[in-house]
């Protein structure tokens, strides 16, 4: 338009640059404002301000809102607070909380739990601010929901409210301020609502839109497919938890859970998927839970204590002649037999008895043609009865007494475990050593034989990835030899490219012993499933769990737990295919269908077929290890 100025001259009124810039910006044709929503062209929009937040948040806690399938705008407004101002305001806030608490006490009123929680949060923030561990920020969180009709908008609003309630967020509609709420969610950097909450640095960083509750890769720039095995589905993001224990500082793991929480089921899934990657797995099974698994994948199964099942302590390591230049396998076996006889008899031998035993051991090997010459080490090893014969031929009183004390284990009631050569060769991709049927009198010595067999394979000259699984480890820890084995494996397994997987339900006792704490400290991978209320405090202290993680483990469903790997933690739910479930389950309701007339006997074999007693090899179904070489146990 044109007008006259005071001098009578005509001039054009020019708009300032900022106004012309706003005119050039895209904008809707029309906006109709209602008390609780807006109509923007053909779309309806309703805005909300978040006024209540959970007391604890984890990484990526906003992801469910950011990945909402409908159209939803999320806006976070951040304003830093000066440290001096923040400290002063926290001091005043704490004083108000304390004053209110004293007033309630003097008037006999019950304490307000929300006020108590807020007072604790304010105190913690004040101390963290004083130590310089973070800063405070004013944060406003606003949401705008869009839909094509008013009815659809109401449905979308209801869905978003339910989602927010699941995240422990309290939403309030911007009633009679619908336009201000909508503009606060636009990319203008304008907070027209100004309903804010104070956040510290850690909480604000967790709200960053690009954080994720999933495990972060070791190299963020690596775009290749993740290496490892599937542990399950992320309980927070529904993403897959793929984890590689062989990429950690050490390869050990510990699984702690109460009975029935799914620890054995999860461990069997990890074993199956480790076999696919060519890992040799050796299992110490005190409760006969892995027989069906061994039969399903063609593994070797050795049930010590069962009729006709033996493990000869005189066997030399397989391939011992190949390492003859470095170690004397015969000498090492002779030294082990000294320990074996002492454990078998339950007492230490006198020096004269030790001398007689040493002569008899070498004589027993010589009687079958095994000498210091490595070329003879492939010959069949002697058995315990050969040792007693060698003792009797010495003609001394000490040797005769020692032979008489060994007689119950050669011809007497306990001879079944030692009266012949090894029945199932401990070799192949999967080896299970069951201890359940061992009589109590032979439990200690049977455990010693199994652990010695496992350790010899771990320390063999053939270097390959090996996973040693010890289920119900609290049973093994009661045996002195078992306790020493676990400690040695936990500290030295990594040097032999092996990992120790300890599984136990006796959480409190494990964490209360020096051995248990040493095993936990040497495990880079820690898996916590549902915990018993009596053990929660010990677990929370040992693993430095937050209050939210503690509550999660107290109520976690079966198969759901927390994976702790260094500084990273992720909640996950173990998932299995139908075939994997059929192999891994120990639920009697599932196993009863396999029994005739619906009868289920936990002491009987529940595998589709028994493994061959000579080779330990069972049927190989199409789903599992049809491409596994049983002699080497590697994928072809």
Q: What is the pLDDT of residues 408-424, one digit of tens each?
A: 888 877 777 887 888 88
**226 vs 379: CA distance, rounded Å:** 47
pLDDT at 617 over 80: no
* Closest of 467, 523, 532, 522 to residue 290, by C-alpha: 467
pTM of this structure = 0.66
Per DSSP, helices labelled H in 25-166 are 63-66, 83-106, 113-130, 150-166
- pLDDT at residue number 287: 83
DSSP string spanning 330-344? Answer: HHHHHHHHHHHHHHH
pLDDT at 625 over 80: no
Instruction: Say whether 312-421 and 232-305+428-592 share the same fold.
Output: no
- pLDDT at residue number 546: 80
In this structure, are residues 32 and 38 in contact, taking their beta carbons and an 8 Å threshold? Answer: yes
Sign of CA dihedral 179, 183, 184, 190: negative
Task: Tell which wins on pLDDT, 238 or 511.
Answer: 511
In the Cβ-directed half-sphere of 349, how many Cα atoms lie within 13 Å? 24
Give the SS3 label for residue 295. Answer: helix
Sign of CA dihedral 261, 262, 267, 270: negative
Which helix or strand (DSSP H or E) is residue 488 part of? Answer: helix 480-492
The structure tokens 């960083």 sit at 205
Superfamily classification of domain 232-305+428-592? P-loop containing nucleotide triphosphate hydrolases (3.40.50.300)
Structure tokens at 462: 């053939």
In this structure, are residues 591 and 606 in contact, taking their beta carbons and an 8 Å threshold? Answer: yes
Give the SS3 label for residue 458. Answer: helix
* Closest of 268, 313, 292, 290 to residue 432, by C-alpha: 290
**337 vs 390: CA distance, rounded Å:** 14
Query: pLDDT tens for residues 574-594?
Result: 999 888 888 888 777 766 665
Mean pLDDT of 242-266: 88
pLDDT band at 96 (very low <50, low <70, confident <90, very high): confident
- pLDDT at residue number 88: 83
End-to-end CA distance of the chain: 86
The structure tokens 């095994």 sit at 370
- pLDDT at residue number 413: 79
Structure tokens at 271: 């074993």
The structure tokens 């305001």 sit at 89
**223 vs 11: CA distance, rounded Å:** 63
The pLDDT mean for the chain works out to 80
pLDDT at 52 over 70: yes
pLDDT band at 622 (very low <50, low <70, confident <90, very high): very low
pLDDT band at 223 (very low <50, low <70, confident <90, very high): low
Give the SS3 label for residue 476. Answer: helix
Q: Residue ranges of the domains in the chain?
A: 28-81+135-206, 232-305+428-592, 312-421
Which helix or strand (DSSP H or E) is residue 75 part of? Answer: strand 72-80
**584 vs 586: CA distance, rounded Å:** 7
* Closest of 346, 357, 339, 340 to residue 401, by C-alpha: 357
CATH topology of domain 312-421: Helicase, Ruva Protein; domain 3 (1.10.8)
- pLDDT at residue number 11: 45
| Highest-scoring range by mean pLDDT, 22-36, 255-269, 508-522 | 255-269
- pLDDT at residue number 319: 66
**258 vs 489: CA distance, rounded Å:** 24
Give the SS3 label for residue 229. Answer: strand
């Amino acid at each position: 338009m044109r007008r006259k100025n005071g001098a009578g001259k005509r001039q054009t009124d020019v708009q300032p640059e900022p106004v012309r810039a706003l005119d050039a910006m895209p904008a809707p044709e029309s906006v109709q404002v209602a008390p609780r929503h807006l109509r923007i062209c053909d779309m309806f929009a309703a805005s909300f301000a978040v006024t209540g937040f959970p007391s604890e948040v984890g990484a990526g806690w906003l992801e469910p809102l950011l990945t909402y399938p409908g159209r939803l705008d999320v806006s976070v407004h951040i304003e830093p607070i000066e440290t001096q101002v923040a400290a002063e305001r926290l001091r005043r806030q704490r004083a108000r909380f304390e004053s209110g608490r004293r007033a309630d006490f003097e008037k006999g009123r019950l304490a307000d739990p929300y006020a108590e929680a807020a007072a604790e949060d304010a105190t913690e923030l004040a101390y963290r601010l004083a130590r310089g561990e973070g800063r405070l920020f004013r944060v406003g969180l606003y949401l705008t929901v869009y839909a094509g009709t008013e009815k659809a908008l109401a449905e979308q609003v209801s869905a978003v409210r339910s989602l927010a309630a699941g995240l422990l967020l309290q939403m309030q509609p911007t009633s009679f301020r619908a336009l201000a709420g909508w503009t606060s969610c636009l990319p203008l950097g304008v907070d027209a609502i100004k309903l804010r909450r104070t956040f510290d640095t850690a909480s604000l960083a967790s709200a960053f839109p690009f954080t994720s509750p999933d495990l972060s890769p070791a190299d963020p720039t690596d775009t290749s497919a993740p290496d490892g095995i599937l542990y399950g589905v992320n309980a927070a993001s529904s993403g897959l938890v793929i984890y590689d224990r062989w990429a950690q500082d050490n390869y050990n793991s510990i699984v702690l859970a109460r009975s029935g929480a799914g620890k054995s089921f999860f461990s069997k899934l990890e074993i199956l998927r480790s076999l696919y990657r060519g890992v040799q797995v050796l299992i110490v099974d005190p409760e006969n839970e892995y027989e069906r698994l061994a039969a399903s994948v063609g593994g070797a199964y050795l049930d010590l204590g069962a009729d006709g099942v033996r493990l000869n302590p005189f066997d030399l390591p397989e391939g011992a002649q190949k390492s003859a230049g470095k170690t004397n396998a015969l000498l090492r076996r002779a030294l082990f037999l000294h320990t074996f006889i002492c454990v078998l008899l339950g007492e230490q031998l006198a020096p004269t008895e030790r001398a007689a035993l040493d002569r008899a051991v070498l004589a027993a090997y010589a009687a079958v043609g095994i000498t210091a010459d490595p070329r003879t080490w492939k010959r069949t090893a002697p058995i315990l009865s050969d040792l007693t014969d060698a003792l009797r031929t010495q003609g001394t009183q000490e040797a005769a007494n020692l032979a008489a004390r060994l007689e119950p284990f050669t011809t007497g009631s306990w001879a079944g475990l030692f009266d012949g050569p090894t029945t199932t060769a401990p070799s192949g991709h999967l080896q299970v050593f069951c201890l359940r049927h061992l009589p109590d009198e032979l439990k200690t010595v049977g455990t010693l034989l199994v652990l010695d067999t496992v350790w010899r394979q771990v320390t063999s000259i053939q270097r390959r990835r090996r996973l040693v699984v010890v289920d119900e480890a609290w049973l093994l820890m009661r045996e002195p030899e078992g306790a020493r084995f676990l400690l040695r494996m936990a500290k030295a397994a990594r040097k032999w490219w092996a990992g120790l997987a300890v599984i136990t339900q006796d959480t409190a006792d494990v964490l209360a012993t020096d051995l248990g704490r040493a095993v936990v400290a040497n495990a880079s991978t820690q898996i916590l499933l549902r915990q018993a209320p009596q053990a929660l405090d010990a677990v929370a202290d040992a693993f430095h769990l937050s209050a939210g993680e503690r509550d999660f483990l107290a109520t976690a469903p079966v198969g759901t737990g927390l994976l702790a790997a260094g500084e990273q933690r992720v909640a996950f739910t173990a998932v299995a295919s139908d075939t994997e479930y059929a192999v891994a389950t120990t639920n009697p309701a599932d196993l009863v269908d396999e029994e005739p007339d619906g009868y289920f006997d936990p002491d009987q074999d529940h595998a589709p077929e028994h493994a061959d007693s000579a080779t330990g090899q069972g049927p190989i179904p199409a789903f599992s290890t049809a491409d596994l070489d049983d002699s080497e146990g590697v994928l072809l």
